[in-house]
Amino acid sequence: MTIAIKTQRIESYQREGLSFDVIDSGPLDGQVFVLLHGFPETNKSWQETSEILNTQGYRTFAVNQRGYSLGAQPTSRRDYRGSALLEDVNALLDIIQQPVYLVGHDWGAVVAWDVAQRYPEKIKHLITISVPHKAAFMKAMLTSNQLFKSYYMGLFQLPKIPELLFEKVPQIGLALLKDSGMTEQQLKDFQQEIVNEKRLSTALNWYRGLPFSSNKNLLKPITVPTLFIWGKYDSAIGPKGVEYNKNYVHAPYKEVIMDATHWIPVQNAKELSQYILDAVV
């Protein structure tokens, strides 16, 4: 696909028959940020961050990833393996045709780490939020209470039960999200964007695809400048993984620990944006 991105907006792009939604904003000739959301949110979670970056002259591409774009919802669990998620983002980078600032939160951070491992030449600066390098996370699972904190990863891989929790017994499903620090508005957004708009099962497939994902590059370090941001009240990610994270970045590395929950892009957009700008300027 050939698109002159400096003269037109990108509302979507295609890969292997799938169509991915993009919110493209900011100056057409601005340096590019690519923003990757996590579970259970959509690219709209980047709205305030995008607006701030746009006012500073940057162009932002907030992507609805596989399972979240309504035109990219394969049903097979295998279709959500890590290599597929990585190449979805790489397809956009090929269109952009210039190194980008890559930002990922939650599952979006997992993908961002993978992209930076596989295609470092396409990344100007890596910014990951909440979730550390996969090797740091796995080591924390063995040396801390991270396994306990990650119980939901096993729950979400089960067939049908997660859908029942969120669709048929929402008081239980929504309570899990509220306990993680989500606000009432975020819960309403989840109900509308994920449940009502039929994204739930395919979003859960990110967890169900884990058995099909390879860890052959688990210990491969990151070789691009990296900013990692974590909230000390994060109920899903403990401090051990954060502590180990720097060991897997062989490049300039900065770490920020915020007074925040897991949901930094939505709840702390102003602070987040400033940390990003301070790191990349």
DSSP state string for 24-35: EES-TTSPEEEE
Place of tokens 């008081």: 171
Collapsing DSSP states into helix, strand and coil, what is residue 190? helix
Sign of CA dihedral 180, 188, 157, 132: negative
Percentage of the chain beyond pLDDT 90 is 95
Q: Where are the domains of the chain?
A: 12-280
Contact (Cβ atoms closer than 8 angstroms) between residue 275 and residue 229: yes
CA triple 60-131-212, angle to 5 deg: 95
Q: Which two tokens stand for residue 131?
A: 């979730």
Collapsing DSSP states into helix, strand and coil, what is residue 13? strand
Place of tokens 């996590």: 38
For the segment 40-89, what is each residue's pLDDT rounded down to a tens digit?
A: 999 999 999 999 999 999 999 999 999 999 999 999 999 999 999 999 99
Name the pLDDT band for 3 (thresholds 50, 70, 90): low
CA dist., res. 71 & res. 18, Å (int): 6
Place of tokens 């990650």: 150
**Bridging pattern class, strands 123-129 and 59-63:** unpaired
For the segment 107-126, what is each residue's pLDDT rounded down to a tens digit?
A: 999 999 999 999 999 999 99
Q: Which CATH class is domain 12-280?
A: alpha beta
CA dist., res. 272 & res. 103, Å (int): 11
pTM of the model: 0.97
Q: What is the model's pLDDT at position 1?
A: 45
Compute φ and ψ for 122, nearest 5 degrees. Answer: -95, 0
Q: Which two tokens stand for residue 183?
A: 């606000």
Contact (Cβ atoms closer than 8 angstroms) between residue 47 and residue 37: no
Q: 2 pLDDT exceeds 60?
A: no
